[in-house]
């Protein structure tokens, strides 16, 4: 997870110790909600290219230790100059980040 400015960006990692804190929701009308979320994240079919995010399905681990598949938005731009958020917890990071 990286500090992009006013929001975080997540990229895949092969490091087992890397984690991202988040929320998981069950949705009823997946097509409708995902199209709205894609619009919000700027990665719908008619959003300008290049997209900042790409929606993918990944296996995630839940706090109880079980795993399930979930849609996540991955950051697609260069991270070379971005500050990593090592805790993987953006809300916690924001409470301690200098303004």
Per-residue pLDDT tens for 22-53?
Answer: 999 999 999 999 999 999 999 999 999 999 99
Beta bridge partners of 59: 69
pLDDT beyond 70 at 70: yes
**Choice between 49 and 16, residue whose per-residue pLDDT is larger:** 49
| pLDDT score for 99 | 67
50: cis peptide before it, omega within 30°?
yes
Q: Is 54 exposed, middle or buried (0-12, 13-18, 19+ CB in 10 A)?
A: middle
pTM recorded for the entire structure? 0.89
Beta strands in the chain (DSSP E): 2-3, 8-9, 53-61, 67-75, 83-84
| pLDDT score for 17 | 86
């Amino acid at each position: 997870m990286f500090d992009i400015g006013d929001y975080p960006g997540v990229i895949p990692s092969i490091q087992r110790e890397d984690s991202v804190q988040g929320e998981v929701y069950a949705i009823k009308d997946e097509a409708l909600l995902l199209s709205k979320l894609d619009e919000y994240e700027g990665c719908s079919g008619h959003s300008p290219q290049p997209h900042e995010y790409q929606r993918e399905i990944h296996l995630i681990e839940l706090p109880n230790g079980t795993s399930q598949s979930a849609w996540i938005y991955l950051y697609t731009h260069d991270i070379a100059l971005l500050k990593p958020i090592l805790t993987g917890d953006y809300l916690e990071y924001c409470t301690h980040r200098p303004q």
